[in-house]
Amino acid sequence: MAVNRIDARRRLVLQFGALVGVLGAASLARAADAPSQLRIGFQKSAVNLVVLKQQGVLEKRFAASKVSWIEFPAGPQLLEALAVGSLDFGLTGDSPPVFAQAAGKELVYVGAEPPKPRSSAILVKQDSPLRTLADLKGRKVALQKGSSAHYLTVRAIDKAGLQWSDFTPIYLAPADARAAFEKGAVDAWAIWDPYYAATELDLKPRSLTAVGSDGNGLSSNNSFYLASRSFAQAHPAVVSALLDELTRADAYVWANRKESAQLIADFSGLSLATVHLFISRRPNAPTAPLTPAIVADQQRVADAFARLGLIPKSVKVADIVWHPSKAIL
């Protein structure tokens, strides 16, 4: 009996030692994977990233890394910074990655949020004579080149039975586009939230886009998380951890809508009314690696730009999709 007790104790000691060894190895793997710095690019529309920033979540989780946050007015500017090595990770809409890939930028899709078709629109002033998408013929439309609004406009023109040459795109960043829209220097404006929500509350414009006065029926308006290829290859566990934290942030937003709106308003300077409006158009948005369906949807975006000659060459979206199964977690 005494021998059995000794054997049992030995087994427990060995099991405990093995567990400590596993946990120690995991800690060493995390330490080895942690970058010296983590530079995150985001926009005012990046709800989950803004919540993480305001709560200091990543600074706590990646205590060994210097976490930096850089705000951008739109996705094209963010991905340009990512491509030249000034960023490691960021969020954009559907079109910026297509333009970046076509330009040979070294970046990869690492995650996606569910579609947000209600979060963008093509706006006209309340007293505008334009009533349908077909009325855009011969008109000036403001939009950010290479942004999600660019693809929304492509789809709107196609639905109206028009050619890209039938109207004049005026390529402007959101702040400049709003100024042009207010002055009447353009006839319409393709834009996304929260700029859309702020304009809707301030100016009471009308929307020309189909179904429910928003982008529904035209564009899925997917949001993507991207990383530089070198960062994703060197720090796969960090990328996976970021996706996990983003999903937790989304759950927080849904469970604490009032507090989340205040966090976003405090950071962005947007009114609470604007924040509540644009969050109301945003579905539950857990973050996960790209599914085949999302890759196929994004390929349609790329093919549309290629057909119109708006990018220099056709691209295969799947070529720059990160596969977490290859990550050492």
Domain regions of the chain by residue span: 34-114+223-326, 118-207
Confidence category of residue 124, pLDDT binned at 50, 70, 90: very high
CA distance 224 to 41: 12
- CATH fold of 34-114+223-326 reads D-Maltodextrin-Binding Protein; domain 2 (3.40.190)
The three-state secondary structure class of 46 is: coil
Residue 70 pairs with which residues in a beta bridge? 41
The CATH number corresponding to 118-207 among 3.90.1650.10, 3.30.2350.10, 3.40.50.300, 3.40.190.10 equals 3.40.190.10
Q: What share of the chain is helix, strand, coil (3-state, %, to 5)?
A: 55, 15, 30
pLDDT digits (tens, 9 = 90+) for 213-248: 444 578 888 999 999 999 999 999 999 999 999 999
The three-state secondary structure class of 204 is: coil
The structure tokens listed for 299 are: 């390929």
The three-state secondary structure class of 180 is: helix
Which residue type, as a one-letter code, is found at position 163?
Q
Question: What does the mean pLDDT of the chain come to?
Answer: 86
Q: Where are the alpha helices (DSSP H) in 74-121?
A: 75-83, 95-102
List, in order, residues 6 or more apart from 16 with CB less than 8 Å away.
none
pLDDT digits (tens, 9 = 90+) for 275-303: 999 999 988 888 999 999 999 999 999 99
pLDDT digits (tens, 9 = 90+) for 19-45: 333 333 333 334 446 789 999 999 888
Alpha carbon 123 to chain centroid, angstroms: 22
